[in-house]
Amino acid sequence: MQQIPQLDILPYHGKYIARARGLKRLAFRVMPRHTLMPLIDEIKLAWLRLWSLRTVARYQAAHGLLVNLGAGNKGQPGWVNVDVLPMPGITCVYDCRKHLPFPDGSVRGIFCEHFFEHLDYTEEVPIFLSECARVLQPGGVLRLIVPDVERYLRAYLADGWQALSAIRPLDDQHTDFFLGCRYNTKMEFINTMFRQGHEHKFGYDYETLAFVLRRYGFRQVVRQSFEVSLRPELAIDQAVRASESLYVEAVR
């Protein structure tokens, strides 16, 4: 069979399929990877939710917490660092899309950097934001950091690649610093930012983010910038993401 060359965009997806053996290889013949992998992820997360029921009891008497949601490998000492993967620094392995394991009013601040765009806008965002509002104490602050879609679209409309490269580190061949893939066109770049395979679910500008925050329990919404916060202890932003990020804070 003729070997079909892979596209330069997210090339590891094609390599993953090519390396598959046994039942996994058979599964990819029956169902496309872009359909099968999200299904497998959801099955794993459903299993995690069943095993996480005891987590709620661990925090039943908690108060004054600082919580880092979707912390990844950026867990903070003294914080409750939440992620679905048990990485170093993660203190709470939990799927926080449908529920947060903290009592009402037990949290003084929530930090959430480049996780919110992974939530489904119609099904998961209302639940997630309502849960954040529930666990925050009055006056508590939610700091949300997401890719700034308005900034990306303005850069897309500019001539050449210079404006896009100023937002997202790209080399002379348009290779992405974060993902390691090469873009042949600016639209490939934009689609990757909005979708990232199957991982990104929605893109945000300030107007949309402010709308959903006010709708689901927050009385004040403020546009911020890198390392500027209503609560300085929440300004733990990654400098490497500053050029592409939208910073918004909401007060319970």
> In the prediction, which pLDDT does 12 show?
56
pLDDT at 5: 72
Q: Do residues 133 and 184 both lie within one domain?
A: no
Range of the domain at 190: 150-195
Q: Is residue 162 part of a domain?
A: yes
Residue 1, pLDDT score: 44
Alpha-carbon dihedral 180, 182, 188, 191, rounded to 10 degrees: 0
The answer as to whether 178 is a domain residue is yes
Q: What is the pLDDT of residues 178-197, one digit of tens each?
A: 888 899 999 999 998 888 88
Asked if the structure places residue 17 within a domain, the reply is no
Looking at the fold, whether 97 and 120 belong to one and the same domain comes out as: yes
158: Cα within 13 Å, side-chain hemisphere: 14
Regions in the chain scoring below 70 on pLDDT: 1-4, 10-18, 20, 24-25, 28
Q: Answer yes or no: do 139 and 121 share one domain.
A: yes
- Does the residue 191 lie in any domain? yes
Token pair of 4, please?
A: 């079909």
Instruction: Tell whether 14 is covered by a domain.
Output: no
At 57, which CATH number? 3.40.50.150
Domain match, 119 and 70 both: yes
Asked if 96 and 166 sit in the same domain, the reply is no
If asked whether residues 212 and 180 sit together in one domain, one would say no
- One domain, residues 224 and 243: yes
Report the domain count for the chain: 2
> Does 44 reside within a domain?
no
67 and 187 inside one domain: no
pLDDT the model gives residue 128:
98
| 25 part of a folded domain | no
How many other CB atoms are there within 10 angstroms of residue 59's CB atom?
A: 19
Whether residues 182 and 245 share a domain: the answer is no
CB atoms within 10 A of CB 216: 18
206 half-sphere exposure, CB direction, 13 A CA radius: 11
Query: How far apart are alpha carbons 246 and 215 in whole angstroms?
Result: 19
Same-domain check for residues 236 and 119: yes
